[in-house]
Every structure is written in C-alpha cells, then in structure tokens.
Amino acid sequence: MPQDQETGSTFKMLLDDAAARLGSRLEADVLLAHLLACDRAWLYGHGTDACPPAVESSYMKLVERRVVGEPIAYVTGTREFYGRTFQVDRQVLIPRPETELLVELALELDPPTRARALDIGTGSGCIAITLCLDQPRWEVTAVDRSEAALQIARFNRDALGARSLELRHGNLFEPVSDRHFDLIVSNPPYVAAGDEHLAQGDVRFEPGMALVAGDDGLDIIRRIVAAAPDHLEPGGWLALEHGHDQAAPVRKLMESAGFDQVESHRDLAGIERVSLGRAR
Ligand code: GLN
C-alpha cells in the first residue's frame, strides 16, 4: 500500500517511536497488536500502511500508561497462564509463572477421582479455572473476599468454559465453613508490610489486599494452615505458594498443625516457592 506521509503516520513510524519511548520493541509491538487484535507478524507485514488517526490516538494512550509504569498485563487487560488467556484488571493480582508450579503440583496429586478442591483467594480465578479445565472430574470451589475480584473470576470462568466452577464471596474459609475438601490450594497474600519490593515495578499497581499479609508476610498463611485441618478429609492435601524466604517457616507451621509429608518445591528460578502437606 502506498504510504502517505502527509496525512499521518505509518504503523512502522508509530512503532519505532513507541519502542524508543518504552525502551522495548517487544512492548511497542504487543500494545499495537493488542489494539488491532492482530499478531506481531501482521504488524511486520503492514509496516508501511497508514495508521488511522483514531488508532494512533488510542495507541498513544496505551503507550503512555506503560511509560508511567503500569504493568503491561493491565494495559492490555490480559495475561497468559498455563496456556490460557485470562482477563485481568487492577482488582486482581497478575498471574505469574511461579503460580503455574502450584497448579502443576496440584494436578500431579492423586486425590479421589471426584476430588473436591478449594482455592482460597482466587483473584482472577487462574488457579481454580485451570484445575477445573484440566481435571474435569474434580469439583472445584473458589473463594475471594473481594467482590470486584470475583467479577473478574466469573468473567474468566464463563469465557474459558469452566462451567462447573463454584465461586463464593467471603474471607478464607467463611463461605465454606461447613465443608470438607480433598485438596486446598492458595496463592495468598504473603509479602511483608514494609517490604521495599512493594514500591517497585508491577506490584505498585496491584491490589495491596492480594499482596500484603502483616509484618512478616505470614499472617494469612498462618490462618490458612491453622484452619485447613478442619476442612480437609483425612489424607487431603494443602498446597500453598509463599515468598522466596518463607519455605522453612511454612513447613514448620504445617508440621505444628499436624500435617504429614510436608515438603517444598522449587520454581523455575530455583526458589522454594510452594509447600505441600497432607492431613492425617
Ligand atoms: N509473587 C508476588 C510478588 O512477588 C506476591 C504474590 C502474593 O503475595 N501472593 O510480589
């Protein structure tokens, strides 16, 4: 297509400019591909096309949000998790690769065929929806104390076809107070309140209630570990994600609460990131 320098920018000109501002060609591409609902290859094939002015101004707004530090997942409203695309916004934590380890370990467990599984603090729903879709015979329930988060989880459940997933509003075990499970999983808030990491990068934009858990970051984990035995069948599993330096204290909490077969597993970065224990 002939390019008309007089009437506007080509895609390539916009991308070059955005890449320079963002310090990343990849991010410039990802944002434009998101806006045009195309893939990156299409952009390369159409670099000399003129960009419609409305697209240009929308693109500039997205680039600006990213320039001031907003996570790319919030700017595009999506993040991949375990091979599926989840919708996210600032009401929920952005799904992370280390949480895929929690899912992988949970899927490898061998609970009864029609296992009842509970996800505490489901956020976007990424853990619960993945369990539901990859183990269709499990009966999965997910809870969150944030109604705004549950709306996102509901959207993802419906969009990804995890029809059997039951979503309930409330804090920790409150919405399932009289129920028992074969498996309880959670990626709870586990960052210490004063952690300097909260002032850096993506986490600045994420909901504090999904991140912070008291002075040592273990407040919520302590409550989950203490209450879980009352909600697990004998032989049922508890699997928790935790901070990079929390594996030993979490194992200790699980052992003191009477769990057997307590063990921690390393994520792709080699960090002990998920601990499991089995109810007696
Ligand atoms: N993994 C997140 C971080 O590094 C914390 C997530 C959480 O608290 N569950 O900030």
pLDDT of residue 3: 47
Spatial contact of 157 and 151, defined as CB atoms under 8 Å apart: no
pTM: 0.94
Average pLDDT over residues 163-174: 97
Q: How confident is the model at residue 7 (pLDDT cuts 50, 70, 90)?
A: low
Q: Please list, in sequence order, all residues whose beta carbon lies within 8 angstroms of the beta carbon of residue 61, skipping any fewer than 6 positions away.
A: none
Distance 41 CA to ligand 1 centre (A): 33
Question: What residue ranges do the domains of the chain occupy?
Answer: 11-68, 79-278
pLDDT of 53 strictly over 90? yes
Q: Pocket of ligand 1, candidates 94, 99, 187: which has the most ligand atoms within 8 Å of its Cβ, to mutate? A: 187
Distance 191 CA to ligand 1 centre (A): 6
Spatial contact of 157 and 167, defined as CB atoms under 8 Å apart: yes
Spatial contact of 64 and 32, defined as CB atoms under 8 Å apart: no
pLDDT of residue 8: 84
Q: How confident is the model at residue 4 (pLDDT cuts 50, 70, 90)?
A: very low
Closest Cα to residue 189, out of 239, 125, 133, 120?
A: 120
CATH of domain 79-278: 3.40.50.150
pLDDT in tens, 17-32: 999 999 999 999 999 9
pLDDT in tens, 69-120: 999 999 999 999 999 999 999 999 999 999 999 999 999 998 888 999 999 9
Q: How confident is the model at residue 216 (pLDDT cuts 50, 70, 90)?
A: very high
Distance 211 CA to ligand 1 centre (A): 6
Atom of ligand 1 nearest to the CA of 121: 9
Q: What angle do CA 150, 210, 80 make, to 5 degrees?
A: 70
Closest Cα to residue 149, out of 77, 92, 74, 95?
A: 92
Average pLDDT over residues 56-73: 97
Look at ligand 1, atom 2, and give the residue with the nearest C-alpha: 211
